[in-house]
Amino acid sequence: MKGSLWRWALAVVVTLGTLVWQRATGPTYPARGIVKLAGQTIKMKLERSNSTASDQPVRVSVADPAVNGEVIWRRYPTSDPWHVLELKREGGELQATLPRQPAAGKLEYQVRLRLGAEQALFPQRPAITRFRGDPPAAVLIPHILAMFLGMLFATCAGIEALAPRRDLRRLAWTTLGLFLLGGFVLGPLVQHYAFGQWWTGVPFGWDLTDNKTLLAALAWVFALWRLRGGRSARGATVAAALVTLAVFAIPHSAWGSQIDWSTLPAGQAVPGAKP
């Protein structure tokens, strides 16, 4: 019993570590860094995801009132002309807003700060932000919970397969059931609310979030096939757990839904912007 608790504790640590890594390396994680301007160090944080319900705020905390700047942006991926938005001071912040876009619409943008004759650009390669709809909590929370528990049970099954355990089928069936619920029932609902599409993985596209869910589910289908008839199938179970960890270590939202701008009217500058 004590050994099983330790294995579950290890599974929790590995699963949480994978989730943190996946989130922190994903394309929707804020772009962070610092810029040096006339001897000042300014911390930067640019968001890379926003709701379609509102314009996206751009905020830079800089107390020196002599610092000003602008945001340059355009639709991504396009060869549109760059638009320029002035950063306006509100207390200790410089602020602007990027215009809201349709679901799965992306913008690339940079912040240029100036102090006298000196200027600094962040980031050197434009940050890319994606707009999304807002899935209801009644769908989003169960989806996240099912996927987390699926990863947890998958990891635990792999660890248990290395220990003297007679039957891994319950863990394997639970893992597959959670992935089916989270990835193939609730997942498409989240995708539809956020981007207007149900499934963008194979055979309809290359969305890595959908495809890695499909690959993980197939790995557990194979493991269960190997476990049929009371077989131990420890190797297949470990392999399925490793496949799950590998695919879920891929940054979240990589190769995600992206609008085809050629199917929409050309963008227009927001009031006050200039190309």
Tokens read off for 60: 């830079």
Residue 71 and residue 110: Cα distance in Å, rounded?
6
Q: What integer pLDDT is reported at residue 159 of this predicted model?
A: 92
**Average pLDDT in the 234-254 region?**
86
CB-based contact 139:193 (threshold 8 Å): yes
Q: What integer pLDDT is reported at residue 270 of this predicted model?
A: 39
Q: Which residue has the tokens 């890379």?
A: 48
Which range, of 79-88, 109-118, 208-217, averages the lowest pLDDT? 208-217
For 271, list phi and psi in degrees, rounded to 5: -55, 135
Q: What integer pLDDT is reported at residue 255 of this predicted model?
A: 60
| Residue 105, burial from CB neighbour count under 10 angstroms (0-12, 13-18, 19+) | buried
Element (H, E) at 224: helix 208-226
Q: Percent of the chain at pLDDT above 90? A: 65
Which position has the higher pLDDT, 210 or 128? 128
Q: What integer pLDDT is reported at residue 163 of this predicted model?
A: 79
Is 80 exceeded by the pLDDT of residue 219? yes
Q: What integer pLDDT is reported at residue 143 of this predicted model?
A: 96
For 106, list phi and psi in degrees, rounded to 5: -120, 145
Angle at 13 between CA 7 and CA 19, to 5 degrees: 135
Residue 146 and residue 149: Cα distance in Å, rounded?
5
| Residue 209, burial from CB neighbour count under 10 angstroms (0-12, 13-18, 19+) | buried
In this structure, the strands spanning 68-76 and 106-115 are antiparallel
Is 50 exceeded by the pLDDT of residue 45? yes
Q: What integer pLDDT is reported at residue 266 of this predicted model?
A: 55
Element (H, E) at 73: strand 68-76
Look at residues 31, 25, 103 and name the one whose alpha carbon lies nearest to residue 259. Answer: 103
**Average pLDDT in the 239-250 region?**
90
**Average pLDDT in the 262-266 region?**
70
In this structure, the strands spanning 118-132 and 49-51 are parallel
Q: How confident is the model at residue 258 (pLDDT cuts 50, 70, 90)?
A: confident
**Average pLDDT in the 70-97 region?**
95
**Per-residue pLDDT tens digits for 123-140:** 999 999 999 999 999 999
**Per-residue pLDDT tens digits for 8-28:** 888 999 999 988 888 788 788
Enumerate residues 6+ apart whose C-beta is below 8 A from 200: 191, 206, 207, 210, 256, 257
**Domains of the chain, each with CATH number or no CATH:** 2-26+134-248 (no CATH), 31-133 (2.60.40.10)
Tokens read off for 35: 């810029």
CA 253, 257, 258, 264 dihedral sign is negative
